[in-house]
């Protein structure tokens, strides 16, 4: 009985639905990290308020674009290497951070 439960849990981990949800969570964390880095950089510059708003908008747009591009690359690699998906995701996360 225990063997069947372990196999079911492993198949859930390897299922595309689980991987898609995991990739979305990873993308969300990457975007939050990039936004934090962008805001930290802008606070170091400390220009006028209008210029800050423009810089924040432009930098956040670039960071979100880069985060989704990284996610796209990660997902392509993930689908090619379906057997090693967990190791690949962890390696990519550490490379992005």
21-70 pLDDT per residue, tens:
777 777 777 777 777 777 777 667 666 766 777 777 787 778 778 877 87
Percent of the chain with pLDDT over 90: 0
Reply yes or no on whether the pLDDT at 72 is more than 50. Answer: yes
Q: What is the pLDDT of residues 85-96, one digit of tens each?
A: 666 666 677 666
Q: Please state, rounded to an integer, the average pLDDT across all residues of the chain.
A: 67
Name the nearest CA neighbour of 74 among 54, 59, 56, 94: 94
Which residue has 């949800």 as its token pair? 21
pTM (two decimals): 0.38
| Domain residue limits, the chain | 26-96
């Amino acid at each position: 009985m225990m063997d069947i439960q372990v196999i079911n849990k492993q198949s859930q981990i390897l299922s595309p639905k689980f991987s898609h949800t995991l990739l979305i969570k990873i993308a969300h964390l990457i975007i939050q990290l990039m936004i934090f880095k962008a805001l930290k950089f802008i606070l170091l510059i400390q220009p006028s308020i209008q210029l800050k708003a423009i810089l924040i908008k432009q930098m956040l747009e670039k960071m979100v674009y880069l985060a989704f591009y990284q996610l796209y690359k990660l997902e392509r690699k993930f689908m090619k290497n379906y057997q090693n998906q967990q190791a690949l995701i962890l390696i990519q996360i550490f490379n992005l951070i």
